[in-house]
Structure 1
Amino acid sequence: MGPGGLRRWLSSRAPAPRICVVGSGPAGFYTAQHILKFLATGFLCSTPSCPAFLPEHHDLAQVDIYEKLPVPFGLVRFGVAPDHPEVKNVINTFTHTARSDRCAYYGNVTVGRDVTVGELQQAYHAVVLSYGAEDNRVLGIPGENLSGVYSARAFVGWYNGLPENRDKTDITDCSLAALACSKVKRVWLAGRRGPLQVAFTIKELREMINLPGTQPVLNPADFTGLENAVKDAPRPRKRLTELMIKTALEKHREKAVMAQAAVPRQWGLKFQRSPQEVLPTADGMRVRGVRMALTRLEGSGDSAKAVPTGDMEELECGLVLSSIGYRSLPLDPAVPFDTQHSIIPNNLGRVMGVPGLYCSGWVKRGPVGVIITTMNDSFDTAQSVLEDLQEGVLDVSVSKEGFGAVGSILRSRGIRPVSFSEWEKIDAAEVARGKAAGKPREKIVDPQEMLQLIGH
């Protein structure tokens, strides 16, 4: 919006912006937080070169967050490992945002079913889709549906108490009991490419190396010549590779000296292996192994491609976890969707061809990065919303009812949303149950039990 447009907006005292965010994970909360921050200050832009202001009634701007589960926080609650509680501290920031007078949380509302995206667009000046990646990619190989084959997403959801995975389930009692009596003695991590392309971090590698009663099994031959190859690599990649080399050599020497020593558990890395088929037991019911193609690399660095050599090998195992990534799903026929990349087509978070519709997080850019990546990405989308308010792309001259309109639609369809204060009752109950068991919390994993707890 130029100076003239801004003056007209200021003089017209246009209705306050009404914005809704779909999804209450990190992407949703960070988007809401950034929008509210700059609407609260009166600034539409965060850069010194953009001194545009909102009208005096900017403090009436409202951001509503919709979530399909009764409980908020997405992957912070359901995706962070129980032994990394420090990562969950961002929940404190999200809670502060949700308690703002200008923010409201509505759980137990499935957008695309209980209310359509078109109905949200009628009720709000801007709609931001931040619903993440709720499905997993598939290997697409024979035998993938055998008993004993699971996605990493299902496994993580199980031990984190994700409602849809609660029948397998900070770690729930039943999953803790199952893992405590686990007979798993050896875990192989197999990847199509080599040591220079691994996706884990040095922190994760250190934690694996230092697992009590567990021995890493790394083949020194896999790292031949890599000392020179990583000399000019970025520092994180260099340090990670050097630690793998050091571990491979040390453990190889230890093995030679203590060949007869009994190690309770082992884990190892198998590079340049591409799964071709999950092999069944004799009765055809369960997994007994995986047939893998050996690969060679074409190219170098992150752009290297794995090409089958023609050689094959079989790896015996009784459990297969496919950890090849999450993927987003289409939410509503009215929303464009790139099925090849499983994202919503967008430009800086603006959904292509649909003014007033935005996206952030994994549904915007794909399931990559950690929470800090999502934070920066969400701030970028929020900035696009703020710029469109400034430029007049979003027509705030027309009053929007926000949840006033959506609430009526939900009531007519028999849907009762869960407020943030009701979530806090569920939270208190989980913390009390955890205290009784000597844990930070014991998650309630059944949505119906959650709703009964708050009188729904």
Structure 2
Amino acid sequence: MVGAGPAGIYAADFLRKSGTDVEVDIFERMPAPFGLIRYGVAPDHPRIKGIVDALHRVLDKPGVRLFGNVGYGTDLKLDDLRQFYDAVIFATGAAKDRPLDIPGIELDGNYGAADFVSWYDGHPDAPRAWPLHARSVAVLGVGNVALDLARVLAKSPAELLSTEIPDNVHSGLLGNAVTDVHVFGRRGPAQAKFTPMELRELDHSPHFEVVVDPEDIDFDEGSMAAIRGSKQVDMVVKTLQDWAIRDRVEHPRRLHLHFFHSPVEVLGPDGTVTGLRTERTELTGDGSVRGTGTYHDWEVQAVYRAVGYLSSHLADVPFDHESGTVPHKSGRVLDIDENQLEGVYVTGWIKRGPVGLIGHTKGDATETVTSLLTDAPNLPSAPQRDPLAIEEYLTERGIAYTTWGGWLRLDAHERELGRLRGRERLKVVERDEMVRVSRRD
């Protein structure tokens, strides 16, 4: 298994529960497991981070081993894995930002959601500082990630001290100059992609006001069909309607949710972001929108793109660069001629794209594991089947890999750091320090 996030761990769990005599090794490029849960979920979401408890139980079982701090494509390649394993499942997720092709997107002050999330989640490969000089900020996109970004930008740093936010992030947010965060969606409230709970959480902070323009509350027949057909859409719409008609209360910070505004250009004549131009859109009857030719310029000093994540091409594995996924049939990886790549499988976002919630990866894992188990009797056996062989190989190559026992040490260390501050956990950020603590005797 390549990838120790939810997708990889769910697949390992289904394999172990299948009744088949199988041993699973999981390789993870980070020194710690849990992928998206540790490095992709906002620190003020302890409810979602509770999923770690379930993933922890899987990795704690016999028959599943973790090899952290091992990068696929740098420390190991596919031919290496085939020496030790009958089959390989890739569950590497999506960690890059999908590009947005509009003029001015290259200006200084444009940022990708994935990069900002990595910073505030203490990813070892992220910068330790982040520019937070902008008073007015635009966030492009109306999914859960866009709301996470907007909420972290608008919150008081003191509100985040009860979380596992790293020290460098808290220090950076203390200097945050923002007064207004503008979130833009090109379609209407009924087409927003965030979940009701994520939306309602915006209104829990006493340190900023959520603002919705009544003119942005509009529906056509396609929108009404979406509302009637989905309880979640109905709840989102009702929340937005309530916010649009309530009285305004003055706050030092404001979080604006804008609909029917399509970004067309980032402005900045001197090479630095000074504004965002949007075109007003209107519904066409089926839930889609078209441009009206009416434009609005917003004075902002930073633009964050939250228009989707994108997976990375894996060495020696076919890749569809347009969709950002590995071509497959029921999880079986296919080559350019649509022939199955023997013994190679895929699950999670690298398989279906970065859509849906974390729990949706269970369905992916079930399908992929079913395909693997169906193929298993006809797969060639790996030449080196001794479980110690891969450990010897990594050691000979000088790879300072971490283990499940190492994670337990790091986990205890972070919790102790947090306890000394009156917090549940204080996350270690530096990779070398993570490895040192994990490999400590």
- Give the counterpart of 2:78 among 81, 96, 117: 117
Rounded to whole Å, the distance in 2 between the matches of 1:430 and 1:276 is 44
Partner of 2:378: 393
Partner of 1:243: 239
Partner of 1:349: 331
Does the CA-based 8 Å contact 2:220-2:283 persist in structure 1?
no
1:183 match: secondary structure: coil
- Give the counterpart of 1:383 among 370, 380, 398: 370
1:434 alignment partner AA: G
Partner of 1:17: none
Residue 338 of structure 1: CA displacement?
Answer: 0.4
Rounded to whole Å, the distance in 1 between the matches of 2:17 and 2:202 is 40
> Bigger CA drift: 190-199 or 173-182?
173-182
Rounded to whole Å, the distance in 1 between the matches of 2:396 and 2:167 is 39
Partner of 1:438: 422
Rounded to whole Å, the distance in 2 between the matches of 1:292 and 1:225 is 20
Partner of 1:214: 208
Rounded to whole Å, the distance in 2 between the matches of 1:83 and 1:143 is 32
Residue 105 of structure 1: CA displacement?
Answer: 0.4
Aligned ranges 1:11-410 → 2 under 5 Å: 21-38=1-18, 42=19, 54=20, 58=21, 61-168=22-129, 170-225=164-219, 229=224, 232-250=228-246, 254-255=247-248, 262-280=250-268, 283-284=270-271, 286-298=272-284, 300-301=286-287, 304=288, 306-332=289-315, 334-352=316-334, 353-389=340-376, 392-396=377-381, 400-401=384-385, 404-410=388-394
1:27-80, Cα deviation, whole Å (9 max, x unpaired): 010110110111xxx3xxxxxxxxxxx5xxx2xx21000001111110111112
Residue 277 of structure 1: CA displacement?
Answer: 2.2
Does the CA-based 8 Å contact 2:113-2:305 persist in structure 1?
yes
Rounded to whole Å, the distance in 2 between the matches of 1:26 and 1:394 is 26
Does the CA-based 8 Å contact 1:119-1:406 persist in structure 2?
no
Pick closer, same or farther for the CA change 1:235–1:92 going to 2, 3 Å: closer
Residue 182 of structure 1: CA displacement?
Answer: 2.4
Residue 273 of structure 1: CA displacement?
Answer: 2.0
Residue 405 of structure 1: CA displacement?
Answer: 4.2
Does the CA-based 8 Å contact 2:190-2:219 persist in structure 1?
no
Question: Are 2:414 and 1:413 aligned?
Answer: no
Rounded to whole Å, the distance in 1 between the matches of 2:192 and 2:378 is 43
Does the CA-based 8 Å contact 1:444-1:450 persist in structure 2?
yes
Rounded to whole Å, the distance in 2 between the matches of 1:129 and 1:111 is 10
Partner of 1:448: 432
1:189 match: secondary structure: strand
> Bigger CA drift: 440-449 or 167-176?
167-176
Residue 184 of structure 1: CA displacement?
Answer: 1.2
1:202-227, Cα deviation, whole Å (9 max, x unpaired): 11221113321422221222224569
Does the CA-based 8 Å contact 1:125-1:400 persist in structure 2?
no
Partner of 2:141: none
Residue 241 of structure 1: CA displacement?
Answer: 1.0
2:417 alignment partner AA: R
Residue 418 of structure 1: CA displacement?
Answer: 0.9
Root mean square deviation of aligned Cα: 2.2
1:383-410, Cα deviation, whole Å (9 max, x unpaired): 2222223xx33345x6652654433443
Unaligned runs of 5+ in 2: 131-163, 335-339
> Bigger CA drift: 379-388 or 398-407?
398-407
> Bigger CA drift: 343-352 or 149-158?
149-158
2:125 match: secondary structure: helix
2:378 match: secondary structure: coil
Larger radius of gyration: 1
1:246 alignment partner AA: D
Residue 123 of structure 1: CA displacement?
Answer: 1.9
Does the CA-based 8 Å contact 1:124-1:402 persist in structure 2?
no
Unaligned runs of 5+ in 1: 1-20, 43-53, 256-260
Rounded to whole Å, the distance in 2 between the matches of 1:270 and 1:78 is 28
Does the CA-based 8 Å contact 1:289-1:317 persist in structure 2?
yes
Pick closer, same or farther for the CA change 1:103–1:455 going to 2, 3 Å: closer
Q: Which TM-score applies when normalising by structure 1? A: 0.82
1:144 alignment partner AA: I
1:234 alignment partner AA: S
